[in-house]
Amino acid sequence: MKIAITSQGNSLDSSIDPRFGRAAGFVIVDTETGETSFADNAQNLSLPQGAGIQAAQNVAATGAKAVITGHVGPKAFLALEKGRIDIYLGAQGTVAQALEAFKAGQLDKADSADKEGHW
Amino acid sequence: MLTIAVASGKGGTGKTTVTANLAVWLASQNVDVAALDCDVEEPNLHLFLRPVWTKTTPENVPVPEVDEERCLGEECRKCVDLCRFKSLIMMAGSVMVFPELCHGCGLCTLACPARAIREGAREIGVVRTGATAGADSARIPVVGGEMRIGEAMAPPLILAVKRTAPASAVRLIDCPPGTSCPVIASLGGADLAVLVTEPTPFGLHDLELAVGVLRKMDIPFGVVINRDGMGDDRTHRYLEREGIPLLGTLPHSAEAAHCYSEGRLHVDALPGFREAYASIWENIRTLAAREVSR
């Protein structure tokens, strides 16, 4: 299964980006093969609106079935839910540490948004 | 019709005070005047003019509704890719619409090759019309908008306020603060703008931003300094340096603040203010005449 982890950089050593919609990018990890790749999210950083749902669309395009991030807002949550992509919140530290925490079952699976929408 | 927009970069400088007092002063001089509250996010002109509202009309913007049966799905993506407001996404093979992000431009409906999108409606707020309750000759038509709570898109409602307002010799528009889209929508089509400022560093900073907007929009303008005597003289010096007409000053006084806090009008309650507004109006007329012959 592919997992998208919001990241401030492009590797496992990069720090987690706690934001979903305006994350710098996503480190995509294939849990079966161990392969990683990076999906840039820079085009969303300066969007006046809709960054969360655009990020959800970008994540879906990578084939990821789960997202690991810090927080998620209501529209992004709806979009990810529609795409049947699970969301794990509360990630901290590096991408690698977040991945370990996820594997150890230490991250909360979101059943709703934990942030308010901007409007 | 002479349309005068009362604006300012900064909130709390006295836009509404100037609009309401000028409207009442003009009506007392038998000028046919209408007052528009275009600050639809936080309308407050009615607190001073106290109109009797006679009509309330909901205002809608179109939002796309997608017919899944007709939608071509992933192969097409036209609506998703063209939407500049990013209010549509393609998720799991179907289009998801986020109405709160939609500006109602209608491009997706036009672009859809399968005619799968039709325009639904979303209420963004209401437009109210009425008139002040004074003597018949002095009744001032008042129009204002109020956005639905949680709504983020003011411009269509502002345009509805302007569309709804009756024709009058003078139209005074109380603009929202700032320099973003709602201000631009309020200023659009104005013959002249009156920028209200206070003589403080914050006031001057935001005045400079507003001046930039008006120059860009090519709308002639002058400045009223409210609470003159507080702060410093930097605003006066700025206006001289930039060659911006000073339309008038309103003094900084405890009585004026007290009067305002009770929702009373300065031209009714305080000596000297009628003369101040008479002079402001004279300067507005001079500016308007000069700009018409430009």
Terminal-to-terminal C-alpha distance of chain B: 18
Judge whether B77 is closer than 8 Å to chain A, CB to CB. Answer: no
Contact assessment for residue B6 and residue B196, using Cβ atoms and an 8 Å cutoff? yes
Please, how many CA atoms are within 13 Å of residue B146, restricted to the half-sphere of its CB? Answer: 11
| B92–A84 C-beta distance less than 8 A | yes
User: For the residues A27-50, what does the mean pLDDT come to?
Assistant: 92
Judge whether B149 is closer than 8 Å to chain A, CB to CB. Answer: no
Q: What residue of A is the nearest CA neighbor of B87?
A: A50
Output the tens digit of pLDDT for each of chain B's 294 residues.
999 999 998 999 999 999 999 999 999 999 999 999 999 999 999 999 999 999 999 999 999 999 999 999 999 999 999 999 999 999 999 999 999 899 889 999 999 999 999 999 999 999 999 999 876 667 999 999 999 988 888 999 999 999 999 999 999 999 999 999 999 999 999 999 999 999 999 999 999 999 999 999 999 999 999 999 998 999 999 999 999 999 999 999 999 999 999 999 999 999 899 999 999 999 999 999 988 666
Q: What is the per-residue pLDDT for B137?
A: 64
* A chain contacts of residue B108, beta-carbon cutoff 8 Å: none
Nearest-by-Cβ selection for A54 from B89, B100, B150: B89
Nearest-by-Cβ selection for B86 from A50, A60, A84: A50
What's the burial of B68, exposed, middle or buried (CB within 10 Å: 0-12/13-18/19+)?
Answer: exposed
Its pTM stands at: 0.83
Which amino acid, residue B12?
A: G
| B150–A119 C-beta distance less than 8 A | yes
Contact assessment for residue A37 and residue A28, using Cβ atoms and an 8 Å cutoff? yes
- Give Rg (Cα) of chain B: 22
| A79–B91 C-beta distance less than 8 A | yes
| Tokens (6 digits) for B264 | 């009373």
Which amino acid, residue B64?
A: P
* B chain contacts of residue A54, beta-carbon cutoff 8 Å: 86, 89
Judge whether B110 is closer than 8 Å to chain A, CB to CB. Answer: no
| B86–A119 C-beta distance less than 8 A | no
Domains of chain B, start order: 2-59+128-292 (3.40.50.300), 68-115 (3.30.70.20)
Residues 6+ apart with CB under 8 A from B245: B222, B223, B239, B283, B287
Bridge partner residues of B66 (DSSP): B117
Q: What is the per-residue pLDDT for A117?
A: 76
A45: left (phi over 0), alpha (psi -120 to 50) or beta: alpha
pLDDT grade for A46, boundaries at 50, 70 and 90: confident
pLDDT grade for A119, boundaries at 50, 70 and 90: low
* B chain contacts of residue A83, beta-carbon cutoff 8 Å: 91-92
Bridge partner residues of A26 (DSSP): A6, A39
pLDDT higher than threshold 90 for residue A115: no
| A78–B86 C-beta distance less than 8 A | no
Domains of chain A, start order: 2-109 (3.30.420.130)
Element (DSSP H or E) covering residue B236: helix B234-242
